[in-house]
Amino acid sequence: MGILNLLFTVTIILCINSSHIHGYDPLDPYGKIIIKWDLLLSSPGHHEVKVTLENKQEYRHVEKPGWKLRWHWVNKEVIWDMRGAETTEQGNCSAFASGTLPHCCLRRPTIVDLLPGAAPLNSQVSNCCRGGVLTSMSQDHINHVSAFHMSIGSFPDDPGEFSMPYNFDIGVPGYSCDNATSVVPTKYIADKGRHKTQALATWEAVCVYSQFRSSQSPKCCVSLSAFYYQNIVPCPVCSCGCSSSHCVKPGETPPYLQQKHNPEEEVSPVVECTKHMCPIHIHWHVKVNYREYWRVKITASNYNTMKNYSDWNLVVLHPNLKSVQQVFSFNYKSLTPYNDGINDTGMFWGVKFYNDVLLQAGEIGNVQTELLLKKDMVDFTFREGWAFPRRILFNGDECVMPSPDDYPRLPNSVSPSAVISILTIVFCFLLLLLA
Ligand SMILES: *[C@@H]1O[C@H](CO)[C@@H](O)[C@H](O)[C@H]1NC(C)=O
Ligand SMILES: *[C@@H]1O[C@H](CO)[C@@H](O)[C@H](O)[C@H]1NC(C)=O
Ligand SMILES: *[C@@H]1O[C@H](CO)[C@@H](O)[C@H](O)[C@H]1NC(C)=O
Ligand SMILES: *[C@@H]1O[C@H](CO)[C@@H](O)[C@H](O)[C@H]1NC(C)=O
């Protein structure tokens, strides 16, 4: 058992590292954010561009305070005008001493989305003005895209040819972007579809997420219980790290009430003091056993005193998700990234205006669902930890699971860890081969 556990740990570490360094997520293998540039008009010294950010990820989203797009100009470009977004700084425009000044003269501008409701109509374009928030593709068909328009010119001593900028950055922790490459020009529908126009040229830069790059410590953990087992198996101690040990004790005033923070910046979590020290805690309870069905209750709790999680989501891997009969109080979507008929992964998210916001600790602070699963007589069992999830992700970040040795077990059954270790090793080995 000792050797197996060691092998298990080593494989897990290798597995997590390999997938995270490359930003490759086997549950969302095509997930990415695309920055698209459509050159709409171009003459020396005057170029019109439409920039689109599209979140092509099944479950990851960009939350408040939103994206902050940066790039590096190749020549001495300036931005004369912007619709649907603005730069954070104008920079030094003293070369244009006479007449109106450009909107931005920086070599490396930072662009932010306009705030919802605040932008005057003449400075809006479609898909703009959502404060930089991009929903996940599964949760929303419209708000996973953001767009703005720019008029680009150049300094007086520059010939004013258009060159695609480089070194893109979306300003969201965990993402890194490639340089843009030229793609097939975007087509636009005109005259109710009878006529199509197209961009003069189109480029795309691809940004991918890596949890490893986003933060060194995990952001959530999982605890387990079952009707046939007397104890609750808690989250592992210090799942989310205990070294940065500032936490709020019961009765203490959370810091968000004490200090004003800049709404433009992501606030680092301040958690309620627990043994796991995670901002998010997921509990999986095997609740009832029927003849043909069984019932699970999932609870997500917020221990972060600094944040309400809007449009939160959970991704769960469990073999019985292929036979989901009913999901109560949450939305559900089966994820089948490889179209290979294996649908053991599902995504859960809140019902709009009911439980789509997971309120900060101190408020209600949790959301719950129950699932009814149909027993598949070939593999259904309460033995060997089978009834528990293989993986859980909250907002796209992997949650820490208890050790298989500690899983609830049926009276007089063997430890499930051997089986799970071997399965995990095989699974990770396959992943390593793929990556
Ligand atoms: C602003 O730019 C001009 C030339 O465009 C330069 O002469 C001047 O020194 C710059 N000012 C500052 C404060 O950098
Ligand atoms: C993008 O291009 C610039 C200039 O050619 C280069 O310095 C940079 O390393 C490239 N970035 C990436 C991520 O390839
Ligand atoms: C979270 O939502 C509650 C209730 O709507 C609100 O009172 C609180 O200020 C919000 N917290 C943050 C950090 O925005
Ligand atoms: C999973 O796939 C099986 C077989 O392809 C299908 O019968 C079942 O309805 C699917 N389940 C879900 C939840 O999509």
Ligand 3 pocket, residue 305 CB under 6 Å: no
Residue type, 406: D
Question: Are 367 and 358 contacting, i.e. CB atoms less than 8 angstroms apart?
Answer: yes
Q: Are residues 105 and 168 in the same domain?
A: yes
Mutate-to-test residue for ligand 3 from 257, 305, 308, highest number of ligand atoms within 8 A of CB: 308
Ranking 201-205, 292-296, 421-425 by mean pLDDT, the lowest is 421-425
In whole angstroms, how far apart are CA 26 and each of 140, 397, 427, 434? 22, 13, 11, 9
* Domain assignment present for 261: no
In whole angstroms, how far apart are CA 162 and each of 41, 47, 246? 10, 7, 50
**Is the predicted pLDDT of residue 423 greater than 70, yes or no?**
no
Ligand 1 pocket, residue 95 CB under 6 Å: yes
Angle at 417 between CA 415 and CA 419, to 5 degrees: 100
Q: Are residues 196 and 229 in the same domain?
A: no
**Whole-number average pLDDT of the chain:** 87
* Domain assignment present for 369: yes
* Domain assignment present for 50: yes
* Domain assignment present for 260: no
% of the chain with per-residue pLDDT over 90: 67
CB-based contacts of 112, cutoff 8 Å, min separation 6? 66, 67, 68, 69, 85, 86, 87, 88, 132, 264
Q: Are residues 319 and 204 in the same domain?
A: no
Q: Which of the four pLDDT bands, split at 50, 70 and 90, describes residue 20?
A: very low
3-state helix, strand, coil split of the chain in percent (to 5) is 15, 35, 50
Q: How many domains does the chain have?
A: 2
pLDDT tens per residue, range 31-62: 999 999 999 999 999 999 999 999 999 999 99
Predicted local confidence at residue 166, as pLDDT: 98
User: Which residues line the pocket of ligand 2, CB cutoff 6 A?
Assistant: 166-167, 178-179
Which residues form the domain of 69? 22-212
Nearest CA to ligand 4 atom 3: 322
pLDDT tens per residue, range 183-209: 999 999 988 889 999 999 999 999 999
**Is the predicted pLDDT of residue 220 greater than 80, yes or no?**
yes
Mutate-to-test residue for ligand 3 from 359, 366, 367, highest number of ligand atoms within 8 A of CB: 359
**Is the predicted pLDDT of residue 1 greater than 90, yes or no?**
no
Mean pLDDT calculated for residue range 304-316: 93
Mean pLDDT calculated for residue range 110-136: 89
Distance in angstroms (rounded) separating the CA atoms of residues 14 and 133: 33
pLDDT tens per residue, range 372-401: 999 988 889 998 899 999 999 999 999 999
Q: Are residues 226 and 155 in the same domain?
A: no
Residue of higher predicted confidence among 230 and 250: 230
pLDDT tens per residue, range 134-180: 999 999 988 999 999 999 999 999 999 999 999 999 999 999 999 99
The pair of three-digit structure tokens given for residue 77, joined into one six-digit string: 């470009």
Q: Shortest CA distance to 112 belongs to which of 172, 153, 31?
A: 172
Q: Are residues 46 and 103 in the same domain?
A: yes
Predicted local confidence at residue 279, as pLDDT: 94
Predicted local confidence at residue 433, as pLDDT: 57
Ligand 3 center to residue 305 CA distance, Å?
10
% of the chain with per-residue pLDDT over 70: 85
Do strands 220-226 and 280-289 pair parallel, antiparallel, or not at all (unpaired)?
Answer: parallel
Distance in angstroms (rounded) separating the CA atoms of residues 401 and 391: 8
Q: Which of the four pLDDT bands, split at 50, 70 and 90, describes residue 411?
A: confident
**Is the predicted pLDDT of residue 418 greater than 90, yes or no?**
no
Q: Are residues 226 and 202 in the same domain?
A: no
Ranking 4-18, 80-94, 345-359 by mean pLDDT, the lowest is 4-18
Mean pLDDT calculated for residue range 342-368: 88
* Domain assignment present for 3: no
Taking each helix axis as running N to C, give the angle between helix 2-21 and helix 417-434, from 0 to 180 degrees, rounded to the nearest 10: 30
Q: Are residues 112 and 237 in the same domain?
A: no
Distance in angstroms (rounded) separating the CA atoms of residues 152 and 159: 13
Ligand 2 center to residue 176 CA distance, Å?
12
3-state secondary structure 178-217: CCCEEECCCEEEEHHHCEEEECCEEEEEEEEECHHHHCCC
* Domain assignment present for 410: yes
Distance in angstroms (rounded) separating the CA atoms of residues 319 and 346: 10
Q: Are residues 153 and 221 in the same domain?
A: no
CATH value at residue 58 = 2.60.40.290
Q: Which of the four pLDDT bands, split at 50, 70 and 90, describes residue 426?
A: low
Predicted local confidence at residue 322, as pLDDT: 93
* Domain assignment present for 362: yes
- Cβ burial of 6 (10 Å; 0-12, 13-18, 19+) is exposed
Q: Are residues 196 and 290 in the same domain?
A: no
> Which ligand 2 atom minimizes the distance to the CA of 177?
13
Ligand 1 pocket, residue 41 CB under 6 Å: no
- Closest ligand by atom to 371 CA: 4
Ligand 4 pocket, residue 343 CB under 6 Å: yes
* Domain assignment present for 430: no
> Which ligand 4 atom minimizes the distance to the CA of 324?
13
Q: Are residues 128 and 223 in the same domain?
A: no
Q: What pTM value is reported for the model?
A: 0.85
In whole angstroms, how far apart are CA 355 and each of 70, 219, 280? 34, 20, 16
Q: Are residues 231 and 343 in the same domain?
A: yes
**Is the predicted pLDDT of residue 88 greater than 90, yes or no?**
yes
Q: Where are the alpha helices (DSSP H) in 89-185?
A: none
Q: Are residues 62 and 191 in the same domain?
A: yes
Ligand 1 pocket, residue 97 CB under 6 Å: no
